[in-house]
Structure 1
Amino acid sequence: MEKNLAQKYNHKDVEEGRYDEWVKKGYFTAGDKSKDPFTIVIPPPNVTGILHIGHAWDNTLQDIISRYKRMQGYDMLYLPGMDHAGIATQARVDARLKSEGISRYDIGREKFLERAWQWKEEYAATIRKQWAKLGNSLDYSRERFTMDEGFNDAVRHVFVTLYNEGLIYRGWRIINWDPEARTALSNIEVYYQDDPGKMYYFDYKVEETNEYFTVATTRPETMFGDVCVVVNPEDERFSHLVGKHAVNPANGEAIPIIADSYVDVEFGTGAMKCTPAHDPNDFAIAERHGLEKPICMNPDGTMNALSGEYEGMDRYECRDKLVERIKEEGNLIKIEDITHNVAHSERTHCVIEPYLSEQWFVKMKPLAEDVLKNQNDPDQRINFYPERFSRVFEQWLENIEDWCISRQLWWG
């Protein structure tokens, strides 16, 4: 009986149903206790969307190793799973709701979570189809999701353990605030880019002497949260003003003029407005001098009651209108076009607002010191290739800040 081969290989005909048969017959299912175990955990893709070429490349390498180990006689577990990706997925669901003309605040938390789970199931199904197309030899009987109950138990266990060890605390600090997602972010969830901006120069009147001096700022809208003007104690231009009061052109309030060595005499005019609730350096100055830390914005990036007539306005609308009013009053000296490095949210891409907020933090210094100590032990150290990245790692640990671990999210 003759059988002719097709002139062209048709992978669809050959592969059709083959993968489903392999899975059904348990060819990828681990659990043979008579064999030595070997496990690879798939780096869980986010359910924010579908797999891309990077996933395909990485998963293929893992699958090559998995199949090789299986043929070597190991009880091979290639474990599948997916990541709920809290902020990222919530941002995607928010965007879908926005396209429908609504927001999560319109439908409420429970309905929003229903939509989020629908999103998860939709994209999880697509990801499984993509794994199948790649032929990944995954044990689906053990598939995990990062919001499974077991993972929640693990998170709670680690949190309580670290808290009891004094490594977790709750406190008021300047954090990265995403006004679109309305949540705190850690430093690694923020990226910086050079954005066009403006430097505004305003005249401030000294209350006691009626003389004027100039203060420069890139963020006039935060002037409603200013508590003082700061000059360098070594700057002779302003030494006679220390201890006196300047009139804030935003609201007419008299605020003290103080001296602090943080101020760079070469930057701007050498006189700096201080907004402790909206800038980490200003916060540090306020801590040193025992100053108040008033917040002048709402969590959604609009102005609060401290801004008077501008209450409820978006921060940038307030900026424009405030500058126009100060100009009309004769206290705007000039505006310079600049390019400055601006923080953005990795997920919503909006401009981050440095914001004084009560959050949960992990004390990183003790943890970092333990790792740095191990780096001096040849048997314990983490080795990097190329070696130069060891120094990058160590510098990061030497300058590490406490990690903000709390989020104001509905999903995750």
Structure 2
Amino acid sequence: MSTLSLVLIVVSVVGVGVGAALLIRRQRYIKSLRDRGWTFDGSPGFDTVARLSNPPFGLGFKRSPDDQITGLTAGGRPFQVIEYGSEYWKGWVGMVTLSRHLPELWVTGGQTLPRSGVSATMVPVPPALGTGWTVGVQDPAFANEVLTGQLCVALLTLVSSQPGVNLSIDGDQLVVQDPPRKDPEQLAPWLEQLATLAAAIDAAPLDRWIQPVREPRLSFYQHPEWYWVGQDDSLLQSTPVTRSGHDHSTSNVIRGRDGDGPPFVAFTHDWKTTRTESSTDSEGRTTTRTVTENHSEPLLGFELPVHLPRLTVGYSGRGISFESEAFNDQFSVKADDQKFAYDVIHPRQMEFLMATRPSPFQVTGNWAWFQVSTHDHQTIARNSYFFRDFLAWIPRFVWKNVGLQDSPYPQR
């Protein structure tokens, strides 16, 4: 037997041994959890995180819940410890349930950086917490009312037993990153500390801050009316996707709206094309092969409340001439009805377009389709806010001309 063969056998035996040891250790770990009356699920569904939308949740299109531990604390408060991953973060989080759905709150202390992806106002830290803490909220008044002396004492107790604390309120969940999940003997008292924090929040007079209960579906941070669909190939029949090729499908379908803005659909369209290539070698023999290529394109469309004449706003090609040379130099506007174009693209609208420089788009019928290069959270949000304001700049008489009594998008 050669030396190489012997080495391969040894490596294989060691690999099998390590795998068996890891499996045995995992089974013992799961048993220790169940012995406490807790539940372990190695393949939890998306419903386990559907009510959560604040980072690390609510970001990205690829979300992956993994090993999950659930149960009740000593006082009967439901908890969850779960492994979670997305394009932006991967790790473990622990959470306990609050008695009310509350606005977002962010508290970090010790050797911990503020949570990535958060958009919040940093407010002064209560003197009772001391130094080394940061607090973020959307409304500073909420921070003043929730950070009671009782909660500050509980936070100081929690940080005294670990290097740092990264805590948030997400609806009716008090969420903390990096739980000591490897050892149930450490996890149990840690969960009791979270329960103490939750009890302090429940005891505070915060009823005026109660938020609406969210629908149990995958949502997006600070976009409560966006929701994840995943795949909806019926869109291939009703949207301006590329028609050539074969094996057409949709992925990462998102629907929603922002406030009183128009509803949107955003997704990736995937398809394939096949071609035949022939080549001749030096001896004159010809061979033929079939080449299949994969393609994708992002689609972003906004639904309008009424049928509008075709109007295209872009940056290239010969377009309608407007009274502003600065606008004509930057934009190319095309329309089937020039009067409609002049009514919509008035001087204030031109100023708005030049200030915002939106993605090119075309209004056609009951939809406006944007020419975007990527399908992501930021692209959808930017164009959603822009288009709502663009529609608000359309004069009332234009809306009346197409059958509405008033503008569906008043100026803000």
TM-score w.r.t. the length of structure 1 is: 0.22
Which of the two has greater strand per residue?
2
Higher helix share: 1
RCO comparison, higher one (Cα < 8 Å, 6+): 1
